[in-house]
Structure 1
Amino acid sequence: MLNHTTLIIIITVIVSLLAWQNKTLFNRLIFYPPAVNNGQWDRFVTHGFIHADSMHLLFNMFTLYFFGRAIEGLYQPFLFGYGFVVFYVLAIIVAMIPSYVKNKNNASYLSLGASGGVSAVLFAFILLAPWERIYLFAVVPIPAILFAVAYIFYSIYADRRGGSNINHMAHMWGGAFGVIATIVLEPKVLPHFINALLSPGF
């Protein structure tokens, strides 16, 4: 039986591939404020299952594969065994809300990608194992907590630079959701994180 992380990845890859082949489908799934204002609220979810290009898709799914499997068990007991799926989808929705509020009357604004959900998963993992090695570009080892700091600074920089439909600020909002939701579901995670942070064990 497939774990939920793998299932989400399969669905995301299939939807992204189909959307690349079908411009009408792509335009229907992407986050577009005027369409949302006209009642297409499902775009808060659907934009998280399409990507700008193969590298965007690969990076997000690569990250989700490694860290989703590592933390899935923490959420699994909730909501009849679908806690991780709900956590992931809610992260995609919540991460988009600030951008929608800022751009809801902007007819030129478009956004896509699973960044909100993937960031929530990544930051939830960091709460559990802040000094665990993350391999940047699958090669360079870096402690998870340092990766998180670099990730935040990069997201701010990329958002200010602009130039694509990738919502970099969703990285930060998704990460914040991942941290808050994890602490709410399992309050013991916070003292565990603090203790682990102060005891790197190098």
Structure 2
Amino acid sequence: MNLLTENPGATLLLAVMVLASGVGLYASPAMIERNLFRPHWLLPRRQYLTLITSGFLHADLAHLLFNAFTFWAFSFALERTIGTPAFLALYTFGLLASDAGTWFKHREDPTYQCLGASGAILAVLFASMLYFPKASIYILPIPVPIPTPLFALGYLAYTYWASRQPRGRINHDAHLVGALAGIAFVALTDGATLANAVRSAIG
């Protein structure tokens, strides 16, 4: 399989995510500082570019590896199904929707700052769940496949727990909004798939 031919969108996004995060973590920490999303300062300082750039950076290697794995596991099949333009639109919609939710919650806090691709990746994950409701994922060392809906709900449960821990830079608040954005995107662009997923869930 030629990834650049069959999955140009997912391949490019994953490459930029890994490269930018690697440079920020190991070569230029100042790059991460410049591109953190700071909701309170978004409008006063016109830091509009951080809405995008913060979504390609990660707090540490574990954060990057988990997001990269989740993206890899679900994005390539989804892009081949819905097409590259729709896939890139979904990713962008998830990223900006999660940023909007973060801005609304933290816009009055001048000290809050965050980063991470999780909002956009949750949009991809939940959209994939609707297109492939019976799919499963293998995660070593767990010896049995994990159904995608169970993985998605487990991801959100972890997010809820993590968001209540002492503050770090990871934008856990973006996860739920990203998940809802993925569902909303499918509802707006392919209502039949959403209806089929609902019938599969209740049938």
Q: Distance in 2 between matches of 1:11 and 1:128?
A: 26
Out of 166, 187, 190, the residue aligned to residue 191 of structure 2 is: 187
Letter paired with 1:122: L
Q: Distance in 2 between matches of 1:137 and 1:72?
A: 25
**CA-CA distance at 1:24 after TM superposition:** 2.4
- Match of residue 46 from structure 1: 53
- Match of residue 103 from structure 2: 100
1:129–1:196 CA contact under 8 A, matched in 2: no
**What 5-or-longer segments of structure 1 have no aligned partner?**
none
1:47–1:112 CA contact under 8 A, matched in 2: yes
Q: Distance in 2 between matches of 1:103 and 1:163?
A: 13
Q: Percent identity?
A: 32
- Match of residue 116 from structure 1: 119
Out of 29, 36, 45, the residue aligned to residue 35 of structure 2 is: 29
- Aligned counterparts, 1:69-108, within 5 A: 69-76=76-83, 81-108=84-111
- Match of residue 171 from structure 1: 175
User: In the TM superposition, what whole-angstrom CA distance separates every residue of 1:27-51 from its partner, at most 9, and x where no partner exists?
Assistant: 1111123441211111111110000
**What 5-or-longer segments of structure 2 have no aligned partner?**
none
Normalising by structure 2, we get a TM-score of 0.88
- Match of residue 153 from structure 1: 157
User: In the TM superposition, what whole-angstrom CA distance separates every residue of 1:131-168 from its partner, at most 9, and x where no partner exists?
Assistant: 32122456352211122222222211111123321111
Q: Distance in 1 between matches of 2:114 and 2:141?
A: 26
4+ runs deviating over 6 angstroms: none
1:131–1:197 CA contact under 8 A, matched in 2: no
Normalising by structure 1, we get a TM-score of 0.88
Matched, 1:6 2:2: no
Letter paired with 1:45: I
Deviates more, 1:56-65 or 1:135-144: 135-144
Letter paired with 1:118: I
**CA-CA distance at 1:91 after TM superposition:** 0.9
The number of residue pairs the alignment matches comes to 195
